[in-house]
Amino acid sequence: MTGPALSLRGVEKSFDGFAALKDASFAVDAGEVHALLGENGAGKSTLMNVACGLYAPDAGEVLVGGAPVRLSGPRQAAELGIGMVHQHFKLVRPFSIVDNVVLQGRGAGRRARYGASVEAAAEAIRAQGAALGFSIDPHARVDTLSVAEQQRVEIVRALVAGARILILDEPTAVLAVSDAERLLETLRELAARGTAIVLITHKLADVRRFADRVTVMRGGRTVATVDPAKTETAELTRLTVGDAPLSTVGRTSRVGRRRFEAIDLTCLRRDGAPAVDGASFHVRAGEIYGLAGVSGNGQSELAEALMGLRRVDRGAIQFEDAGQSVEAASPSRLRAYGAAFIPADRYSYALAGGLSVADNYAIGRVRRGDYGPVGWTRRGTIRSDAAAAVEAFDVQGVRSLDQKAALLSGGNAQKLVIAREFGGEPTIVVAQSPSRGLDVRASAAVHGRLAEARDRGAAVLLVSEDLDEVTALADRIGVMSGGKLVAEFEAPFDRQAIGRAMVDHSAPAHDAATAP
Amino acid sequence: MTDQAMSDQAMSDRAVDRGMTAAAGERGRFRLGRLNVEVRREAGAAWRAFLTAASVALGLGLSAAILVAAGVPAANLVDELLVQTLFDGQNLHAVLFQAAPLMLLGLAAAMAFRVRFWNLGLEGQMIFGGIGATAVSLAGVGPESLRLPMMGLAAIVFGMAWTSVPLLLKLKVGVNEIISTLLLNYVAMNLLFHLLYGAWKDPRDGFPHSPAFAPFETLPTIAFDLSAALVVALAAVAFCVYLLARSRAAIYMRFVEASPSAARALGVPVAGVTIFAVLLSGALASLAGFVIVSGQEGRLTQSFFHGYGVSGVLIAFLARSNPLAAAIVATLMATLYVAGQNLQVFYAIPGAMVQLIQALVVICVAASDFLVRHRVRWVR
C-alpha cells in the first residue's frame, strides 16, 4: 500500500443548504496520532463521519491506502479497516460486551454459530484488552460499566473488527483527568504498533502533548496542518479561533449578604450510601463560590440537589428571599425565588432538543407570565424577544427561530441556555460544569456571563471538575471529597493546597473534624 | 504483541485487501450503485407535508387496485368513492353525521398523545359518557329544557372520572397506561352489559337496551338538516386549535411531549399539565359517546361504541396529533365509511374492505416517517 492510511480530499457536505464542510482535506499516516483541532461546529465530527461512511460527501473523495473508495456505510468502512469511537457511544446498553462485539458481525468474533461467535469474540476481547493493558470481563453488561470503561469497550470493539485506522471523537471530554491521561497514553501505544489514530479534540494541551501532527479546522475548512511541537500555543489558538481576541474575566468584588446556604445537606445514593455527606456552606451576593473536587466526590449530586433535581435526604437549603428552608423543593419553586440553573447535562435538564429555539428561550418567561395570561400567549413578542436574545448572547448557527435546539453545537446550545436563564436577572445562579465540552471562545463567553451576573450582585455557585476554571473565576473555593466539604479557600488561591485537599481526602474520610 | 493480536492483525489485513480489490474491480465496470442512508438533521415543513400527501395517495392507489381486483369497474371507482359520496345530498349528510363523533375521538386521542399518555381507553370513556347521559335521562334530572345540556355535562363528568383511574395509576404508581386503559375498556363494557341486561333493560320490549330517550333528550337537527352533534364537534375542534396555538398550556404540553426531564427541571408543572390534557382527552371521548347515544341511537345500546376506539387513535396518528388535521382526517374517514357502505350494497364488497383501505393508508403514512428522519442517496 502506498500513501497515507486514510485521506480525504476536497470534501464538501451541506445539510439543508447549510454548508458544514467546504473543501476540507485531511490525511493520516499509519503509526501517527493526528489531532483534528477546531471550535465547536468547525466541522470536525462531520468530516470524520464522512470518513467512517455515515455521511456521503456532496463532493470530494475518500482514499484508503491511496486507493479511492466509495463508502456505502459504516459497515463498508469497517471492512476497509476504519473504526470510529463516537462522542456518544454506540453501544447497546443492556447487552454484554461480547454481544456488542458479536453484533457488529465482523472481525475476530465472527463465526457461523452464535455460541462459537461468543467464544471467539470473548477471546479476542481479552486479547486486545490485555495488549492495551485493560482488564475486561467480556461478559459484563455495558450499563454496569463506567464511562471510561465503556470507551475502552468501544476501542476494543473497533480493534476486534480489524480497525487499522481509529477515529476518536472528543474522547477525553467525558473522562476524569486521570482516565484521560491513561487513554491518551493507550492511543500513543496503539500508534506505535502501526495504527493510524485520528483524535478529534479542542483541547490544545492534549494536542501539544500527544499528537504527532495536528490539522486545524475552522468554519468547515481545513486551515492548516502543523507539527504541534514546533508551533506556539498562541499560533494554534489563532489558527483555531481566527484573529478575534478572547475576552478575559476581571474580578470586582462587592460582596453582600448571604443569598443562599446549604446546612448539613445529605443526599443518599440508590444503594443507601451518602453521595453528599453533611455539606454546609453559604454563597453571598456578589461572589462566585467554586466547588472543586475530583470527579465522583459528590459535587454533581450536590449541584443536582440545589437545582431541585435530586431528593435531599437530610439537612436543608435556605434561600434568603424565601425566608425559610426549602427542603425537597421542586425546580419551579426554586426558580420562583429567582434562581437560575445551568445544569451539566443540557439535553436532559436545560433544553428540549426536539423543540424550536424560540420555545426553548420562551419557556422560562412564559412561566413567569411575561408573555400574557394563561389563556393567551403573545407569540409575536416571544419571537422578537427570542431574536433579540439570540443576538445579544451571540448564539450562532440559528438559521431560523423555528430550528430545533438539538441542531445547535454544544457551545451555542449553552449560550441559548444562558440567554434564557440570565434573561430574568437572577439573584442566584447554580452552574454545573458550564464550559465542559465547549471550545476556547465559547468557554470565555460563558465565564464572562457568570462574572457579569456576579458583578450585578447575584450569588453564583460554580461546580466544576476543572480546577483552572474554578481558580480563574471563583472568589472562594470549597473542596469536596468523599461527599464531604473538606476545606475552604479564599482568593488568592494556593493551587498546591487546593490540589492536596482534593486528593488527600480521597480515601474514606475519618477526620470529620477538618470540616469548616 | 501476543500471538492472538498478531493473528487479528493479519486477519484485518486480509479484510482490507478484500475491500480494496472489490473497490478497484467495481470502478472499471458498469454498476448501478448503492443506497446510502443518512440521518436527516431537520426535515422542512414542506417536505413533511409532501411526504404525508404522497403516502396517502399511495395508500389510496393501492386500495383502488385492490377494489378493481375485487370487481369494482375501474371506470366507476372515482365516481363511487368521491362523486357519489360527497356530491349526493343524502350521502353527504351521512358523511357529516359520521364525522362528528370521529372528530371528537380523534381530538381525544390527540390531546392525550400530546403529553405522552397513550390513551387506548377511548371506548371505555365513550361507554361512561353514554352511561352518564342515560343516567340523567332515566332519573329525569332537571327541567326538560335543560335536560340535554345536563346529559352532556353528566357524560363529561362520568368520562373524566373513568379516565382518572388509569391516569392516577400512572402518576402515582407508574402503571403503564397502554395496558390499563386497554383492559379497562372490558371492565366498562361489562358494566354496560350489567346495566342493559339488568336494571336499565327496556321494560317495553325486554331487549337489552335502555328505554328510548324522549324527543327533548335527543340532539336536535339544526340548519340544513344537520345534527347538532356536528356543532358540538366543531366547537371542540375550535377549542383544541385555540388551546394548542395560544394558551400557556400549549408550550407546556410541547415540553412535556418533547422532554419530560427538561420540562420538570425548567419548572413546567408536568403532573398538572398531564392531568389537564388526559382529563380533556377523557372528556372529549365521553362527549363522543354522548353524541352517538343521544344523536344517533336515541338510547343506550350494547354496541354504540364499537370500533370507534381504534378509529380515534388512527385519526390522531394520521393527523400527527394536530387538532385541525384531525378534523379533516375524521371527515375523510367518514367519507370512507359511507363509500364503503355503498360499495357493500352495490358491488357486494365485504365490509372488511373499508378496514383494509384504512390500514393501507395508515401503513403508508407510518412508513413515510422513515423518509422524514432519513435521507436516502444513491452512491454511484
pLDDT score recorded for residue B19:
36
Residue of A nearest to B3 (CA): A127
Contacts of B36 in chain A (CB under 8 A): 56, 71-73
pLDDT score recorded for residue B6:
40
Three-state SS for B74?
helix
**Long-range interactions of B349-352: CB distance < 8 A, separation 24+:** B349/B67, B349/B70, B349/B71, B349/B72
Is A335 touching B (CB cutoff 8 A)?
A: yes
What one-letter code names the amino acid at B49? Answer: A
Residue of B nearest to A306 (CA): B265
In tens, the pLDDT along B194-253 reads 999 999 999 888 899 999 999 999 988 887 777 889 999 999 999 999 999 999 999 999
Q: Which residues contact A470 (CB under 8 A, 6 or more apart)?
A: A290, A291, A292, A462, A464, A477
Model pTM score: 0.74
Question: A128–B34: do the CB atoms touch at under 8 Å?
Answer: no
Asked whether residue A1 carries a pLDDT value surpassing 50, the answer given is no
Domains of chain A are 6-241 (3.40.50.300), 258-514 (3.40.50.300)
Q: Which of A:155-174 have CB within 8 Å of B?
A: 159-164
Q: Is the separation of the CB atoms in B15 and A32 below 8 Å?
A: no
CATH no. for B99-348: 1.10.3470
Q: Which residues contact A511 (CB under 8 A, 6 or more apart)?
A: none
Question: A363–B266: do the CB atoms touch at under 8 Å?
Answer: yes
Three-state SS for A247?
coil
Query: From residue A163, how far is each of A77, A78, A305 by CA, in Å?
Result: 9, 7, 43
C-alpha span between A111 and A119 (Å, rounded): 9
In tens, the pLDDT along A434-479 reads 887 777 788 888 899 999 999 888 999 999 887 888 888 899 999 9
Q: What is the mean pLDDT of residues A147-166?
A: 89
Q: What is the mean pLDDT of residues B164-177?
A: 94
Report percent pLDDT > 70 for chain A. Answer: 92
Q: What is the mean pLDDT of residues A114-133?
A: 87
For residues B184, B190, B191, B193, the Cα torsion angle rounded to the nearest 10 degrees is: 150
Asked whether residue A370 carries a pLDDT value surpassing 80, the answer given is yes
* pLDDT tier at B380, thresholds 50, 70, 90: low
Residue of B nearest to A72 (CA): B36
Give the start-to-end residue ranges of the domains of chain B: 99-348
Q: Is the separation of the CB atoms in A318 and A260 below 8 Å?
A: yes
